[in-house]
Amino acid sequence: MKTKNLFKWKHYQSEIILLTVRWYLRYNLSFRDLVEIMEERGLSIAHTTIMRWVHQYGPELNKRIRRHLKQTNDSWRVDETYIKVKGQWMYLYRAVDSKGDTIDFYLSKTRDQKAAKRFFKKALRSFHVSKPRVITVDKNPAYPIAVEELRKEKNMPSGMQLRQKKYLNNIVEQDHRFIKKRVRSMLGLKSFRIATYILSGIEAMHMMKKEQTLQGEKSVRNQVNLIHQLFGLPA
């Protein structure tokens, strides 16, 4: 999708759209909270409109920010957590490096070697990710099987060490908290597709919060400027 067409036919300014999307993904606000906040600024926006913006621009933010992220190190910490979607528990695979920087994430309906393998393949394709020297996981038996299959397919470094030590994974378990806290405050994710859209935006904002961008965006104002640049708007 071309930048010049991203906001075509929208009835509101692109800055307003990105503002509501950023606030929803970053803070514990509902769509109706944002409707009231916009009303204070003289803007009447339906909550369903803001919802559609989040679904459209959240994944786009995640896509565009990837080439602007700092390189992660080669020590991966992998773990999965639970996310409820339409009343059913799904599995959110996540990985950070030894410094806590996000490597990647993957939402799955299952928790098995196929899901673990898909997650590893997705993470290995990320622009900002270093090939793993060591991957630390918990005692989930699916991980060794997935890694072995990837080695046979030559998609995983042959000398990579797989460590199954749960206590070493505290860093990724702590990192789950922001994502879980943001999702918990929502009224429920209505479908797998929508959950994927929203989680991708939340993860993108979380990476910015952790100063993973090459610019090292420490202030909120600088983060806003970067988002505007990513979407081709004046900083």
- The domain that holds 122 is classified in CATH as 3.30.420.10
Instruction: Evaluate whether residue 185 is within a structural domain.
Output: no
Residues 224 and 205 in one domain: yes
Q: Determine the structural domain holding residue 146 and report its residue range.
A: 75-179
pLDDT per residue, tens digit, the chain (235 aa), is: 444 568 877 889 999 999 999 999 999 999 999 999 999 999 999 999 999 999 999 999 999 999 999 999 999 999 999 999 998 999 999 999 999 999 999 999 999 999 999 999 999 999 899 999 999 999 999 999 999 999 999 999 889 999 998 777 889 999 999 999 998 888 778 899 999 999 999 999 999 999 999 876 678 888 999 999 999 888 7
Count: domains in the chain: 2
Query: Could you tell me if 137 and 98 lie in one domain?
Result: yes
Residue 43 in any domain: the answer is yes
Quick one: 123 and 219 in the same domain?
no
Assess whether 195 and 211 both reside in one domain: yes
Residue linked to tokens 């899901």: 115
Q: Could you tell me if 115 and 170 lie in one domain?
A: yes
C-beta of residue 34 within 8 angstroms of C-beta of residue 44: no
Q: Write down the pLDDT at residue 149.
A: 96
Inter-residue contact 195 to 189 (CB < 8 Å): yes
The reply to whether 235 falls in a domain is no
* Whole-number pLDDT of residue 11: 84
Q: Is 12 helix (H, G, I), strand (E, B) or coil?
A: coil
Tokens 């919802």 label which residue?
A: 51
Measuring CA to CA, which residue among 126, 21, 149 is closest to residue 69?
126
